[in-house]
Structure 1
């Protein structure tokens, strides 16, 4: 059996890892007895070489096997996850969280998988908790939530206990400004294994490789997206500001290239319309946004939520195309259906 050090040396020479070698590396990374210095050297060598789509898919497959199974197989073939990798440093509102609520209100099972904020003021888990959604919900409650609300939230630390042995190394590298494969893996290892996914990524360079990785993992359909809302800024999601690029996989594999607000019959907006705040501020914005009222929330933010929700409904085969998905999402918001859904969610978890 190879050692982590020998695998590191292989990476330093520029050689890619096989799926079997990646399985071995994953075992070392979650091993409490393995030195942190060896783990750090391996992750830095992998990043320096450059991870391939096949390597990312193999790491995701390995860590999926270590995840706790929530027992939601009955919903998985119809379910979607809407999330981003994080790491874009943009400080935007929690668009993907709002989108997950709209999509659930449309009747699509949503397997939301997330964590507390590491780099932003308000992560998805922080906002979920503020809304009253339990992060420590037992598996039976998660399944009941899917039955009642078409929604459940998988709080990442509860479903990936093996990661506790990697977290100190990740934090140490993050403090040095170093990105590793773990900046990409979170959205790929949803413990519920949904068939559909809308994934945003912090770098344009990763759009196509991550689409390839999700295709290799066997998802039915989805899009990987990256946005450039204005010069010098990036987004790990679609928006109506600036430019977006997407890469499809599964049944949407032919969907490649630019995707703009106009593709969803929406106007463009300035980046400032998307900026979020802390948990308290984002909670107030979320409630206004989902109320159906057009007051108190910027049009650009509302339309960016509609663009993403429309894409998610299209991916999950609940709309024929992006414009019809956007129209369906708009109807759900304006009719009060999403506000009603949010109130039912509050009552369910309290």
Structure 2
């Protein structure tokens, strides 16, 4: 069946959900060679993956994953981007997740080290001195202590070990960028997902509708950011009650001034961590601070905490001005340091 699937791909045909799932399972088990896998992933990437193909891959990886035991905490939130936008921005979703948890929202932050970017979420956590959970016990302990669990994807998805080296060899986004936000082992009820373009965002919305989730907001900035944009319009897809609604949103609608993409760029995880700390401390350049405010407000909206994104902006502003998120970060890093010293 593998040879049949590969032939279909080479003919630029698309796969059914069961075929995509079968291919992913065999890729994980080593039945698919690196050359075959590279060819299939490259062709799928350049023609664009279908909803059925993404669903098939997600179901296969979920089946093979170390899913955490049922959490003691309900209605978890996740903020995660697909990556692959090539913008070299700081880790906005990580800053957002810390803000949300400082407000008492339970967050299961799922991430990985960088593949096509300057700094992945796991990279910046390391720079911040935060330990990523490697099992369900650590994850639930972090949630109980800090209202946030940091989940390093490779620990929970051994099936992806086979494809890790392949992704390093392919210097462009693949289907694994798209499915990353859909593999959180704690199965969050709410999600804010950033996509690298509007086509991917629309597909992810359909995938989430098929897979089922309480409420999710998929966003993509017009300039290709896998975040809500502070420099222009953001395309948004809200998934709720088995339906998808699409709309656009501007910084002005949130009461924020447009900023500069240049002010969001970093060279490495250390620069990203430094900028995050300054923002949580109520400082940082205006563009960087405002894009975090906008995305945190969108996360509050996605998790049904506020009626509108603009309402969320007021809450996040107060959080930063009072340094609530900054002191929450200090508490996390201090406690984590003590755990690993002892």
Q: Same fold (TM over 0.5)?
A: yes
Query: 1:246 matched to which residue of 2?
Result: 236
Query: 1:98 matched to which residue of 2?
Result: 95
The Cα offsets for residues 39-95 of structure 1, whole Å up to 9 and x where unpaired, read as: 2233234335532123212211221121112224333x4111111111111111111
Query: 2:247 matched to which residue of 1?
Result: 257
Deviates most, 185-194 or 32-41: 32-41
Query: 2:260 matched to which residue of 1?
Result: 270
**Matched residues in 1 for 2:244 and 2:227: separation?**
19
**Matched residues in 1 for 2:134 and 2:163: separation?**
24
Query: 2:225 matched to which residue of 1?
Result: 235
Alignment of 1:335-350 (within 5 A): 335-350=322-337
Residue of 301, 309, 312 corresponding to 2:296 = 309
Query: 1:222 matched to which residue of 2?
Result: 216
Residue of 297, 313, 320 corresponding to 1:333 = 320
Counterpart secondary structure, 1:128: helix
Q: Is the 8 A contact 1:8 1:46 kept in 2?
A: no
Query: Cα distance 1:8–1:105, how it changes in 2: closer, same or farther (>3 A)?
Result: same
**Matched residues in 1 for 2:136 and 2:177: separation?**
27
Query: 1:173 matched to which residue of 2?
Result: 170
Query: 1:190 matched to which residue of 2?
Result: 184
Query: Cα distance 1:14–1:185, how it changes in 2: closer, same or farther (>3 A)?
Result: same
Query: Cα distance 1:122–1:41, how it changes in 2: closer, same or farther (>3 A)?
Result: closer
Q: Is the 8 A contact 1:29 1:39 kept in 2?
A: yes
**Matched residues in 1 for 2:145 and 2:51: separation?**
37
Query: 1:286 matched to which residue of 2?
Result: 276
**Matched residues in 2 for 1:116 and 1:205: separation?**
25
Query: 2:122 matched to which residue of 1?
Result: 125
Query: Cα distance 1:132–1:210, how it changes in 2: closer, same or farther (>3 A)?
Result: same
Query: Cα distance 1:42–1:78, how it changes in 2: closer, same or farther (>3 A)?
Result: same
Residue of 36, 39, 51 corresponding to 2:37 = 39
Q: Is the 8 A contact 2:17 2:53 kept in 1?
A: yes
RMSD after superposition: 1.9
**Matched residues in 2 for 1:183 and 1:127: separation?**
18
Give the CA deviation at 1:298.
1.0
Counterpart secondary structure, 1:129: helix
**Matched residues in 2 for 1:30 and 1:259: separation?**
39
Query: Cα distance 1:291–1:102, how it changes in 2: closer, same or farther (>3 A)?
Result: same
Segments of structure 2 that go 5 or more residues without pairing to the other structure are 338-342
Deviates most, 250-259 or 97-106: 250-259
TM-score normalised according to structure 1 size? 0.90
Query: Cα distance 1:169–1:280, how it changes in 2: closer, same or farther (>3 A)?
Result: closer
Counterpart secondary structure, 2:329: helix
TM-score normalised according to structure 2 size? 0.92
Residue of 105, 111, 120 corresponding to 1:114 = 111
Alignment of 1:79-94 (within 5 A): 79-94=76-91
Give the CA deviation at 1:15.
3.7
Give the CA deviation at 1:237.
0.6
Give the CA deviation at 1:105.
1.0
Give the CA deviation at 1:197.
0.9
**Matched residues in 2 for 1:27 and 1:42: separation?**
14
Counterpart secondary structure, 1:166: helix
**Matched residues in 2 for 1:86 and 1:50: separation?**
16
Counterpart secondary structure, 2:200: helix
Q: Is the 8 A contact 1:103 1:110 kept in 2?
A: yes
Q: Is the 8 A contact 2:28 2:160 kept in 1?
A: yes
**Matched residues in 1 for 2:71 and 2:138: separation?**
15
